[in-house]
Amino acid sequence: MEVVTCYCLKCKSELGRFRNAWIGLGNTYFSPAYPSLSRIVGLDATGEVHEAAPGSQIEHRYDDP
């Protein structure tokens, strides 16, 4: 499977490498279908975490263990 390398548009730092498989989130956002192939250092989630819409492809993607 093809690998995609993602970079920050502002500073050009590599953010991670991912298999080229994505899950659509709404009309404009996408999330990797598999974990990153490279270690991502220094990235932290910010903001509130929202539950996915019932019946969506990602409804149970980030359930607590």
Q: Among the residues of 1-65, which ranges form H helices?
A: none
Cα–Cα distance, 15 to 8 (Å, whole number): 7
Cα–Cα distance, 61 to 40 (Å, whole number): 20
pLDDT along the chain (65 residues), means of 10: 88 87 77 80 69 73 54
* Residues of the domain holding 33: 1-65
Tell me, what's the pLDDT at 59? Answer: 72
Query: Is the pTM of the predicted complex or chain greater than 0.85?
Result: no
CB 40 within 8 A of CB 16: yes
Q: Number of folded domains in the chain?
A: 1
Tell me, what's the pLDDT at 65? Answer: 44
Tell me, what's the pLDDT at 37? Answer: 86
